Structure 1
Amino acid sequence: MIPAEIQRIVHAGVPLAEQWGIEVLQAEAGTALCRLPERPDLLRPGGTISGPALMGLADVAMWAALLGVHEGRDESLTSQLAITFLRRPAPGAVLAEARIVKRGGRLIYGEVWLRAEGETEPAAHVTTQWVAVTPPRR
């Protein structure tokens, strides 16, 4: 699937991702790259992007990675998400690089690196665990 198709699925499944303008730039083979554009309504005092916005971006990016593996069909659920804030991201858009680290039975473990667009140093590191859900038969 092409990133635009996965983005359409993400926006339909998580309407907040569409409201925030999250873009799926890449999604394939258990990895994804997503972009959250600069948005004044997602800033916290001090002019930096809020923690909840970064966590939401990370969660969406991991789902995009899963959708890339399963040809756009994935109903897995986040069961755990932990974030370590490493530094304040520079003003502007934020990128999320997600990858599936391990699949075992029903559990999926992944990580996401967040950084300001145009920067190389990470702003945050996320570890996340998902539970695979078998879609109902149609």
Structure 2
Amino acid sequence: MDIVMDAQALNAFLARDFPQVADACSIQAVLPDRLVARWRVDDRHLRPGGTVGGPSIFALADVAIYCAILSRIGPVALAVTTNASVDFMRKPAAGRDLLAECRILKLGRSLAVAEALVFSDGMADPVARCSMTYSIPPKTPQNSAL
């Protein structure tokens, strides 16, 4: 699969089309076999007990997988999540950003399947494993962001 959007293009896309997450999430790297995204954790992402809440972990995985798919198909803004599964495996480390490492497992014309492992920055063991399926609409001027 060829890379058609690099990290800079994906971050610009997020800032323009998804400003609600662009302040917390950034694409760190787009590589031939994976995408790496960062979630900048602050107080609004914490739940009682001082750990990162599940909704923030899910949001990171969803945005990261979406961007991994867009990195291969281009800025199709109307690609949507059709299925999601998250296994929360351990408590995220306090005071650390989260990183998602994504792999595309299948990229078809109308469906894409990908997975993400979510880590606390600097830690070896993942805090969550996510699997998601996206529906990809036919590319038209209406659903292309560029």
> Structure 1's 127 and 84: CA in aligned 2 closer, same or farther, altered over 3 A?
same
Aligned alpha-carbon RMSD (Å): 1.6
SS in structure 2 at match of 1:34 = strand
Amino acid at match of 2:16: A
Q: Distance in 1 between matches of 2:60 and 2:107?
A: 21
Q: Is 1:100 aligned to 2:104, yes or no?
A: yes
Give the % identical residues. 26
Aligned match for 1:89, one of 87, 92, 117? 92
Q: Distance in 1 between matches of 2:45 and 2:106?
A: 32
Q: Distance in 1 between matches of 2:109 and 2:6?
A: 27
Shift of 1:11: 2.5
Corresponding residue of 1:25: 28
Alignment of 1:26-41 (within 5 A): 26-29=29-32, 31-41=34-44
SS in structure 1 at match of 2:126 = coil
SS in structure 2 at match of 1:55 = helix
For residues 25-72 of structure 1, what are the alpha-carbon distances to aligned partners after superposition, in whole Å with 9 as ceiling and x for unaligned? 0124463100011211110011010101111110110111112112x4
Count of equivalent residues: 136
For structure 1, the residue ranges without an aligned partner over 5 or more in a row are none
For structure 2, the residue ranges without an aligned partner over 5 or more in a row are none
For residues 94-137 of structure 1, what are the alpha-carbon distances to aligned partners after superposition, in whole Å with 9 as ceiling and x for unaligned? 00111110124411111010010000100000010000112323
Amino acid at match of 2:121: E
Runs of 4+, deviation exceeding 3 Å: none
Corresponding residue of 2:17: 13
- Give the structure-1-normalised TM-score: 0.90
- Give the structure-2-normalised TM-score: 0.85
